[in-house]
């Protein structure tokens, strides 16, 4: 009898880096639950693409992760559909500037809910199923969780907390569940755009002198989930050496 495919829940999985992660995991044999918030059309298109490659292998789930009370339902839906859960990829994030002079409590709450609380409570809900499967969690952190980005203090605090959470959960969930993180550098420019001069400065500060690709992030995630069997509590920087410069 053929063993069942491993199952991964990817938050923010409909587009950009999340979609690339979902494609890479699917190509590696995972069945995939694609979470999205507003990107319904993109999620359905990606699901159709992956279903064409392997029927019955994709579930789409809509939720605003800031609504923390809904998070157990996401995990329950994955297990109800596939009968198991082997991987949680906390990719969804919120990112916007919060200069000290104008930052608000609402901005704090939004950034902390998306970048800290949602990954924590998804991990809490997923933990029994991940333990049963001997699974793993990968959190998408940021090099700015270690080095501040001007005018983005709340975002950076959130990503720093996510890095600490990665290490704390690695201790709590060992030995049956591994928990690691990937910290990207310059992979995609923000959708609202970045000035050409700022892009040039950023690349000049990157020792490998180029942007990374979503595929490189996806491969790091895949490696941590499937092959890094003696790694837990680690943060893998995929930043072209930028944090060193």
Active site residues: 155
φ, ψ of residue 38 in degrees (nearest 5) = -110, -15
Among residues 189, 190, 193, 165, the alpha carbon closest in space to that of 179 is found at 165
Instruction: Please report, for residues 150, 207, 208, 223, the alpha-carbon distance to residue 245 in angstroms, rounded to integers and kept in the order given.
Output: 17, 7, 10, 26
Instruction: Please report, for residues 101, 145, 164, 224, 243, the alpha-carbon distance to residue 15 in angstroms, rounded to integers and kept in the order given.
Output: 33, 23, 27, 21, 26
Pairing of strands 58-62, 31-36: parallel
Among residues 225, 233, 237, 228, the alpha carbon closest in space to that of 142 is found at 237
Which DSSP state fits 74? H
């Amino acid at each position: 009898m053929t063993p069942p495919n491993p199952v991964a829940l990817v938050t923010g999985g409909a587009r950009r880096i999340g979609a690339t992660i979902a494609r890479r995991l699917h190509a590696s044999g995972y069945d995939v639950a694609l979470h999205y918030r507003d990107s319904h059309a993109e999620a359905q298109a990606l699901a159709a693409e992956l279903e064409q490659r392997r029927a019955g292998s994709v579930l789409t789930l809509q939720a605003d992760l800031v609504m923390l009370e809904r998070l157990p339902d996401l995990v329950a839906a994955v297990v109800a559909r596939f009968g198991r859960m082997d991987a949680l990829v906390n990719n969804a994030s919120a990112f916007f500037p919060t200069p000290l002079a104008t930052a608000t409590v609402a901005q704090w709450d939004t950034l902390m809910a998306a970048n800290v609380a949602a990954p924590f409570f998804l991990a809490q809900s997923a933990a029994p199923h991940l333990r049963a499967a001997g699974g793993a969690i990968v959190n998408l952190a940021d090099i700015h969780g270690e080095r501040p980005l001007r005018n983005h203090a709340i975002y950076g605090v959130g990503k720093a907390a996510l890095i600490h959470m990665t290490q704390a959960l690695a201790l709590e969930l060992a030995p049956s569940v591994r928990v690691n993180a990937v910290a990207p550098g310059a992979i995609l420019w923000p959708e609202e755009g970045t000035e050409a001069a700022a892009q040039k400065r950023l690349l000049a500060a990157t020792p490998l002198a180029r942007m990374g690709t979503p595929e490189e992030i996806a491969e790091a995630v895949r490696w941590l989930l499937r092959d890094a069997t003696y790694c837990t509590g680690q943060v893998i920087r995929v930043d072209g050496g930028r944090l060193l410069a």
